[in-house]
Structure 1
Amino acid sequence: MMRRKSDIKDRKEISGRILVAHPAQQHSYRLAGALEKTGMLSKYATTVYYRKFSFTALAAKCLRGDFRVKAMNRRCGDIPDKKVIQFCEIEGLLKLVALNTRFLKRQYRTIKYHTADRFARKVAGYVVRCNRKTVDPVDAVITYDDTSPLLFEILARKSPDTIRIMDMSAANILYMRHIYEEDILRAPAFAQRLREERKICWDPFTIRRTKRELRRAQYFLVPSEFVGRSLEYSGVRKEQIFYCPYGVDTEAFSPKEYEELVPGSRPLEFIYVGGVKELKGISYLLNAFAKIPREQAFLTVVGKYDPDGKDTAPFAEFVNFTGPVLHSEVPVLLRRADVFILPSLGEGMALSAIEAASCGLPLILSENSGMREIIEEGKNGFVVPIQSTEALIGKIRFFIRHPEQIRPMGERAREMAERYTWQEYSARVRQCCINILRREQENASKNEIQ
């Protein structure tokens, strides 16, 4: 419910009461933490969360190794426990078990959407009750793509004054489907992999959900112009879109030490982070390095892969596959490398790329990486077309011929990353929310006058 103009102020101007809801996690901790720091967070609603007396804390006691660490990390120090509300926690835990257990993995999708819809009903009910009682009222709800349709539909009916905002972590799948269909024709050897990775783009059920949430969302937070364009493709108006790029921990991803390089002094190491996924353009990258002599340069692929995969087996002799690594290990691998490369078919905003920039690596990124607008061509990196092995080869050979450019371009990449910290993200997301609340105030005032 919108409050009167005199009621909505921050420390100086506006203090909207915003509930952030996510049945999983993504970067919702960052968003909720940012709003909490400026007094705008009403509640943070989720399923799995590690706090005293929660089922998550109980489950963590039964786990070992990395799984226990992951369970204990399902919390955010910037969000007070009293601001956290949990719904469907057991279903959320079951969903994680299904994701990590082979015999239950087939049921993951069913569990995921059942949990998302049940969670949506609970959150909507909570918001409606708060606003009816005017106790801790909620001015706006921010939730995430692929989790939102039912929540927004209920709010539109039962609490129409509550502003509905969707945080788009990735490009609209209706837009991406056309890109993927072209890729299937261009890279047939990897077509089956892509269909498995992004089967949701051809799934009528998911497509219907996407159309429902796009129809009911009033505003969108997007991390890049690419995501904004993907929304406009489906009829979203520009004035509904607010640009809010993500950040990087510049201390954890500290800059590397450079060495003086001349052509031919040693093979250059190019690094890709994200696992063997065709949605990230891996086929074009592997084919590019198949044409680069190993004594000149080699590729390190960080992330999950299948050593027996028929599509990747031919490339094993000239590519280093690390397999899965903890996120805490990634900075060491980045600082060891020379150049970061990501030919993604579509990213919301490539966090791995901005982490690499923070470590002082020049970047070679696709035009759909969600980073195009912050790359200064030839200064901190290069932007290449998607689905172009030849374009990748050209930029790889540039660094082979001009290794002395790695240091100055890497230093400029670090300077760029310092403008995209999580602290800067907090300031941007707060301002976006204030602007949305102001706009709704103005609209409400106009309606009252009419």
Structure 2
Amino acid sequence: MKVLVSHPTLNANSKNLINGLLKEQQLFKLFTSIAIFPGQILYKLGNNPKLKDLKRRSLDTAWQPYTRSKSFFEFGRLLTSKFKLDFLITHEKGFFCIDRIYQKHDNWVANTLAKAKKQGLSGVYAYEDGALSTFIEAKQLGLYCIYDLPIGYWKSSRSLMQKEFIINPDWSSTLTGFNDSSKKLNKKDQELALADIIFVASSFTKKTLEEYSGDLAEIKVIPYGFPEVTAEKKYPPLVNRKLKVLFIGGLSQRKGLSYLFEAVEGLQDKVELTIVGQKAVPNCASLNRALEKHKWIPSLSHDQVLACMREHDVFVFPSLFEGFGLVITEAMSQGIPVITTDRTAGPDLIKDGEDGWIVPAGSSKALKEVITKILEKPELVEKFGLAAQNKAKTRPWSVYGKEMADALSSLSFIKNWDKWI
């Protein structure tokens, strides 16, 4: 099968999908917004400290023959953000908002499909919020519509998060995921309805789709890969010092933050909690008060994140609704045992009580019980940390890429088999 991959902004999982398709000679084209390759003027401009973000958009030179890009709106969004012109990126309405970028990109890809089919295209692989026009055109042309849902289904999200308004009203202002218009939500449902197969990265994400009201295509769970294990973690004895606990992520109640703060309350003489991430909103009094009690770092580069992980004993990710949680795999790859919830990819990656811990979402009591257990048996940090890192070695990103390519190849076989019979 020859697959066109459509993703306006690219991320770790989409890049490793492309690597897998390239290796198996299944990539037809990559359509994205900004594509910068070594040797180009934009790449060289990235050497300027003020323009260093450009380097983050650089791609492997092996991709260059397959890559098509249209960058006007995405460059506009990046510059608008840099100069704090927030009215231009207002949710769903701003001229350079992320919704417009996805819509423009989707329409562009759709308009290329007729010609691409004549050149051997078999299917299109598109992501949530950027697939509708592409899928409508693909259906008319008889192309496979392959959908990627990176986070749980929106109805499930609203159902679960609505409970937090009642349980933790003081944190409700940080729940910003209720701003999508009915038009946007309907578009998500239309994309799902048109898909011939749906890929998700966790069993939890698949479960959330049970709230979809219509019939869906096959839902296939293929977890993302782990970063390469390159650093050896040192485990200093927990003697005459506090247990160093780390959280990294957006600072909102969707990440279960109030439960983490409750879990360490009363343990300040034994536990040092570090929070890394940017506030979802600036003026949540409960969040601000909690951050004053602990060490807060607003942002770190990716390399700094990995180094920060290695400096801590335990990583806690108490999310209430997460499609995957790449920080889980990052922490495990650094030899850090992870405590996370049953609403992340944790159950797909961690064997509870052997290389990490899975707790019920929304339970500060369960979090505290695990932290207390570690304090009572500090040798668990090294034992579980080494086990976590060993697991990371068994599933590098290349495994994800290969599994995705194999799954897409099987689609082609099924399609051809249907023709033969």
- TM-score with structure 2 length normalisation? 0.92
Decide which moves more: 334-343 or 313-322. 313-322
Q: Indicate the residue corresponding to 1:176 in structure 2.
A: 157
Contact map agreement 2:16 2:398 (CA 8 A) in 1:
no
Distance 1:398 1:224, change over 3 A: same
- How far apart, CA to CA, are the structure 2 residues paired with 1:230 and 1:60? 44
Contact map agreement 1:19 1:43 (CA 8 A) in 2:
yes
Contact map agreement 1:266 1:295 (CA 8 A) in 2:
no
Q: 2:235 aligned with 1:258, yes or no?
A: yes
Amino acid at match of 1:199: F
Instruction: Give the secondary-structure state (helix, strand or coil) at the position aligned to 2:246.
Output: strand
Offset at residue 381 of structure 1 (A): 1.3
Contact map agreement 2:36 2:58 (CA 8 A) in 1:
yes
- How far apart, CA to CA, are the structure 2 residues paired with 1:226 and 1:80? 32
Distance 1:422 1:184, change over 3 A: same
Instruction: Give the secondary-structure state (helix, strand or coil) at the position aligned to 1:199.
Output: coil
Q: Indicate the residue corresponding to 1:113 in structure 2.
A: 99
- Among candidates 212, 215, 220, match of residue 242 of structure 1: 220
- How far apart, CA to CA, are the structure 2 residues paired with 1:400 and 1:237? 48
- How far apart, CA to CA, are the structure 2 residues paired with 1:352 and 1:105? 31
Offset at residue 415 of structure 1 (A): 1.4
Offset at residue 42 of structure 1 (A): 0.7
Decide which moves more: 389-398 or 307-316. 307-316
Instruction: Give the secondary-structure state (helix, strand or coil) at the position aligned to 2:108.
Output: helix
- How far apart, CA to CA, are the structure 2 residues paired with 1:141 and 1:417? 30
- How far apart, CA to CA, are the structure 2 residues paired with 1:208 and 1:77? 36
Amino acid at match of 1:310: A
Q: Indicate the residue corresponding to 1:7 in structure 2.
A: none
- Among candidates 28, 33, 53, match of residue 70 of structure 1: 53
Give the number of equivalent residue pairs: 415
The one-character-per-residue Cα deviations of 1:165-195 (angstroms, maximum 9, x if unpaired) are 012211111221111111221111110111x
State the identity %. 22
Offset at residue 129 of structure 1 (A): 1.2
Amino acid at match of 2:366: A
Offset at residue 163 of structure 1 (A): 0.4
Contact map agreement 2:337 2:388 (CA 8 A) in 1:
yes
- How far apart, CA to CA, are the structure 2 residues paired with 1:114 and 1:53? 30
Q: Indicate the residue corresponding to 1:11 in structure 2.
A: none
Instruction: Give the secondary-structure state (helix, strand or coil) at the position aligned to 1:241.
Output: strand
Amino acid at match of 1:154: E
User: Pairwise mapping of residues 388-403 of structure 1 onto structure 2 (< 5 A)?
Assistant: 388-403=363-378
Unaligned stretches of 5+ residues in structure 2: none
Amino acid at match of 2:134: L
Offset at residue 97 of structure 1 (A): 2.6
Q: Indicate the residue corresponding to 1:162 in structure 2.
A: 143
Contact map agreement 1:98 1:104 (CA 8 A) in 2:
yes
Q: 2:96 aligned with 1:130, yes or no?
A: no
Instruction: Give the secondary-structure state (helix, strand or coil) at the position aligned to 2:272.
Output: strand
Contact map agreement 2:193 2:215 (CA 8 A) in 1:
no
- How far apart, CA to CA, are the structure 2 residues paired with 1:255 and 1:120? 43
Q: Indicate the residue corresponding to 1:270 in structure 2.
A: 245
Q: 2:298 aligned with 1:323, yes or no?
A: yes
Amino acid at match of 1:380: D
Contact map agreement 2:32 2:68 (CA 8 A) in 1:
yes
- How far apart, CA to CA, are the structure 2 residues paired with 1:118 and 1:256? 45
Amino acid at match of 2:84: R
The one-character-per-residue Cα deviations of 1:325-356 (angstroms, maximum 9, x if unpaired) are 10111111111100110110121211101111
User: Pairwise mapping of residues 43-442 of structure 1 onto structure 2 (< 5 A)?
Assistant: 43-51=29-37, 57-58=41-42, 61=45, 64-65=48-49, 68-77=51-60, 79-87=62-70, 89-105=71-87, 107-109=89-91, 110=93, 111=96, 112-131=98-117, 134-135=118-119, 137-157=120-140, 159=141, 161-194=142-175, 196=176, 198-200=177-179, 203-234=181-212, 240-252=218-230, 254-261=231-238, 265-289=240-264, 291-305=265-279, 309-442=284-417
Instruction: Give the secondary-structure state (helix, strand or coil) at the position aligned to 1:80.
Output: helix
Q: 2:18 aligned with 1:32, yes or no?
A: yes
Q: Indicate the residue corresponding to 1:22 in structure 2.
A: 7
Decide which moves more: 23-32 or 321-330. 23-32
Instruction: Give the secondary-structure state (helix, strand or coil) at the position aligned to 1:408.
Output: helix
Offset at residue 224 of structure 1 (A): 0.9
Distance 1:226 1:99, change over 3 A: farther
Question: What do you get for the CA RMSD once the two structures are aligned?
Answer: 2.3
Offset at residue 440 of structure 1 (A): 2.3
Q: Indicate the residue corresponding to 1:8 in structure 2.
A: none
Contact map agreement 2:34 2:74 (CA 8 A) in 1:
yes
Offset at residue 41 of structure 1 (A): 0.6
Unaligned stretches of 5+ residues in structure 1: 1-15
Offset at residue 213 of structure 1 (A): 0.6
- How far apart, CA to CA, are the structure 2 residues paired with 1:58 and 1:375? 41
Decide which moves more: 238-247 or 224-233. 238-247
Offset at residue 245 of structure 1 (A): 1.0
Offset at residue 249 of structure 1 (A): 1.9
Instruction: Give the secondary-structure state (helix, strand or coil) at the position aligned to 2:187.
Output: helix
Offset at residue 236 of structure 1 (A): 7.0
- How far apart, CA to CA, are the structure 1 residues paired with 2:152 and 2:282? 30
Distance 1:199 1:78, change over 3 A: farther
- How far apart, CA to CA, are the structure 1 residues paired with 2:282 and 2:270? 25
- How far apart, CA to CA, are the structure 2 residues paired with 1:418 and 1:62? 32
Offset at residue 211 of structure 1 (A): 0.8
- How far apart, CA to CA, are the structure 2 residues paired with 1:34 and 1:361? 28
Instruction: Give the secondary-structure state (helix, strand or coil) at the position aligned to 1:164.
Output: strand
Offset at residue 317 of structure 1 (A): 4.1
Offset at residue 239 of structure 1 (A): 6.2
